[in-house]
A and B are shown apart, each in its own frame.
Chain A
Amino acid sequence: MDYFFSEEQLMIRDLARQIADEKVLPVRAELDENEKFPWDIVRTLAQSDFFGIYIPEEYGGMGLGGFELTLAIEELSRACLGVSTTYAANALGTYPLMLYGSEEQKKKFLPDIAAGKRLVAFGLTEASAGSDAAGVQTTATLDGNEYILNGTKQWITNGGEAEIYTIIAMTDRNKGPRGASAFVVEKDTPGFSFGKKENKLGIRASVTRELVFDNCRIPKENLIGRQGMGFIVAMKTLDKSRTGVGAQGVGVAQGAFEAATAYAKERHQFGAPVISFQAVQHMLADMATEIEAARALVYAVTKYIDNDAKDVSKESAMAKLFATDVAMKVTVDAVQVMGGSGYMKEYPVEKMMRDAKILQIYEGTNQIQRNVIGQALIKETAKKK
């Protein structure tokens, strides 16, 4: 379907597709098998300006919106979710600085991020805090001109490879969610180290590690926004980034659908290509329809967010929820359409199926997305009275 992209948007989509086809596709199986962090691809994306798409021009970016970022994420995801997770998590880590960073912080960090010189990671999740963001145990204690960080962040995408970390920590435990604050921490700060690299079911090209803070001292100026705003920073960041996860769902589903369709045309059973059988056609028809619906929703919500809509929690949760549930279903069905071949590592769909599962889990499980939507519905009905 034609979504009437602008010339710039077409340029981004086409170049992202070219990079995905030429640089990602040929190596994705190897990256997956060996859990290899895709530094070569990161460098290509950096050189081609992809890390600066959504960053304002005054900080070295291209000054475009979340929509353009979404297009890039979708195309990379069509080839490899591990690669697109690395890329999208970089934006996730950058949003706190973009949304709430001081002018000095923006000047210091955004140009390097836009140029892809330094990768970024976002640190919210902990052993006891994931869906329950208020359960953060990591503390930040003000001591003179420094904050002292203590605690451990878990399952942090880009952990260890990134050089800039945006971290949510408690500055006042008694205040609950209002006692959280956001900080920027640079790699190589004394007292900041990394735990083991996690061995994952999917997105194995992306790296997931623990972040360990042991009396890690950072300058007071590294506080993002005001003290006590950490929870808001995190929620607004997630509101912004959720459609990116939706775009990942659209992309991986599209990749799986294309692989399954191509195979169904080639594979012959009972003297005819299997695509000629209605049972297969109906599966492909459902896949194509659901992908298009997911894409339309992700695009619509991203445009809504880009137009400075005030409260986007419900809509962004809907886009994430729907597109990633579609991704799971479509990738499972792609394996089914391809039968025995689909189950084998010679074909890409088993990887896509493994990869897709994380989309229903990270950046808020799909159950949490339903909570967000439900709470918004309650709020809306309350207003109407």
Chain B
Amino acid sequence: MNIIVCIKQVPDTAEIKINPETNTLMREGVPSIINPFDLNAIEAALQIREQSGGKISVLTMGPPQAEASLRDAIAMGADEAVLLSDKAFAGSDTWATSYTLAKAIEKLGADIIFCGKQAIDGDTAQVGPETAEFLNIPHISYIRKIEEVSDNSIRVQRLMDEGYDIVESGLPVLLTVVKELNEPRMPSLKGKMAAKKAEIKVMGFADIEADENSLGLKGSPTQVKNIFAPELKAERKMIEGSPEEQVDSLIRELKAIKCI
């Protein structure tokens, strides 16, 4: 079983600030982490490997410093890591990113491809499903449970607004996962040592047989018009105390604004 986990290095949003003048992210000094949903994807892959064996490769597209996230994934237990990095990939939107990832996955070969449901920086949730489309394979999104994996099929639970669907698919398949699926493990000491020594394979334009015009900024139909921080319109007030006190103060507050 060959498993590829697509991950993204993202700024730790708990630490992030927005420049009020330019409305852009202030990335300086903000630590980079693996996108949290991707940690669930890595954990899912590790659990499948524990059950039925196989090899886990982590794949990311990004600048050279994204290598750190790949090493973190190896510290959790992934077998190998591939960094897709090339000037030709710069400026990719979700479409071009998915195309590039798909081309790399075609080269690497996989039975199951895992992605987090979305990245916490862009929040589009597009790259997983788009990658499956470029690969022309089925995808199942928002996986909350993996029921069964065999050599040529998989049965999973897909989280829906009300309840869940049970979906079965042949392999290869691409799955995007939600955090309810599992609790990502901590890295291990042996994993961290392996990660330090691991050779990270770098793939560029020359390695993936891609159409140049579909890559990077050139291959990206998305145009960013404006980025801004939403204005804070509503005020929030926390009512504290015992339940009785809370009810009293809530009634008082509602009366004060003539709501009741």
Contact = CB atoms under 8 A, between A and B. Distances in A.
A47 B189 contact: no
B13 to A, nearest CB: 17
A249 B195 CA distance: 33
Contacts of B186: 15, 18-19, 22-23, 44, 47-48
A49 B195 CA distance: 15
A50 B190 CA distance: 10
A11 B193 CA distance: 9
B87 interface: no
Contact of A53 (B185, B189, B192): B189
Nearest to B186: A48
A94 B185 CA distance: 26
Interface in B187-215: 187-193, 196
A15 B190 CA distance: 11
Nearest to B196: A7
A34 to B, nearest CB: 21
Contacts of B190: 49, 62
A8 B187 contact: no
A12 interface: yes
B185 A11 contact: no
B195 to A, nearest CB: 10
B192 A47 contact: no
With most chain B CB atoms within 10 A of its CB, the pick from A19, A23, A44, A48 is A48
Contact of B189 (A22, A23, A44, A48): A48
A49 to B, nearest CB: 4
Interface string A38-49: 000000100111
Interface size class of B (residues with CB under 8 A): 10 to 19
Contacts of A53: 189
Nearest to A50: B189
Q: Say what secondary structure dominates the interface of chain A.
A: helix
Interface string A1-43: 0000001100110010011001100000000000000000000
Interface residues of A, number: 16
Contact of A8 (B188, B191, B193): B193
A8 B186 CA distance: 17
Contacts of B188: 47-49
A344 to B, nearest CB: 16
A7 B197 CA distance: 12
A49 B187 CA distance: 9
Interface string A203-235: 000000000000000000000000000000000
A19 B189 CA distance: 12
B185 A62 contact: no
Contacts of A18: 186
A303 B183 CA distance: 37
Contacts of A12: 189
A243 B32 CA distance: 37
B185 A15 contact: no
B103 to A, nearest CB: 35
B193 A48 contact: no
A49 B189 contact: yes
Nearest to B192: A11
B171 to A, nearest CB: 28
A12 B192 CA distance: 9
Contacts of A22: 186
Interface string A49-74: 11001000000001000000000000
A221 to B, nearest CB: 31
Nearest to A22: B186
Nearest to B195: A11
Contacts of B185: 44, 47-48
Contacts of A8: 193
A67 to B, nearest CB: 14
A50 B186 CA distance: 12
Contacts of B192: 11, 15
A33 B187 CA distance: 29
A19 B192 CA distance: 14
A19 B186 CA distance: 8
Contacts of A19: 186
A380 to B, nearest CB: 39
Contacts of B193: 8, 11
Contacts of A15: 186-187, 189, 192
20 contacts: A11-B192, A15-B186, A15-B187, A15-B189, A15-B192, A19-B186, A23-B186, A47-B185, A47-B186, A47-B188, A48-B185, A48-B186, A48-B188, A49-B189, A49-B190, A49-B191, A50-B189, A53-B189, A62-B189, A62-B190
Interchain residue pairs A-B with the least CB separation, the first 5: A49-B189, A48-B188, A49-B188, A48-B186, A49-B190
Given A49-B188, A62-B190, 12 more contacts: A8-B193, A11-B189, A12-B189, A15-B186, A44-B186, A47-B185, A47-B188, A48-B187, A49-B190, A50-B189, A53-B189, A62-B189
